[in-house]
Amino acid sequence: MRAVEALGGSAKASEIRDHIIENLDNADRMLVVTRPNRPDSPVLLERISWGRSYAKLIGALESPSRGLYLLTALGKELLALPEEEAKQRAIELDREYRRTRNASRPSTGPAVHEADADPALDTDDVDLDDAGEVEGSDWVQVLLSRLHRLSPTGFEEFVLFLLRQYGLELRRVGGSGDEGIDGIGIAPLSPVLSSRVAVQVKRYNPDGKPIGREVVALFQRDAQAKGAERAILVTLGRFTEGARKAATTFTPTVDLIDGTRLAELIRDEEIGVRMAPKVDESWFDRFD
Q: So what's the pLDDT on residue 99?
A: 87
Burial 255-281 (b: 16+ CB within 10 A, else e): bbbbbbbbbbbbbeeeeeeeeeeeeee
Q: So what's the pLDDT on residue 114?
A: 41
- pTM for this prediction: 0.59
Q: Tell me if 46 sits within 8 A of 52, measured CB to CB.
A: no
Per-residue pLDDT of the chain (288 residues; tens, 9 = 90+): 999 888 878 888 888 888 899 888 888 889 889 988 888 788 999 999 999 999 999 999 988 777 778 888 899 999 999 999 999 999 999 999 888 877 766 655 444 444 344 444 555 544 333 333 334 457 888 899 999 999 998 899 899 989 988 888 888 886 544 458 999 999 988 889 999 999 999 999 998 889 999 999 999 999 999 999 999 999 999 999 999 999 999 889 999 999 999 999 999 888 888 877 778 888 788 777
Each domain of the chain, given as residue ranges in start order, spans: 2-122, 138-269
Q: Give me the CATH code for the 138-269 domain, please.
A: 3.40.1350.10
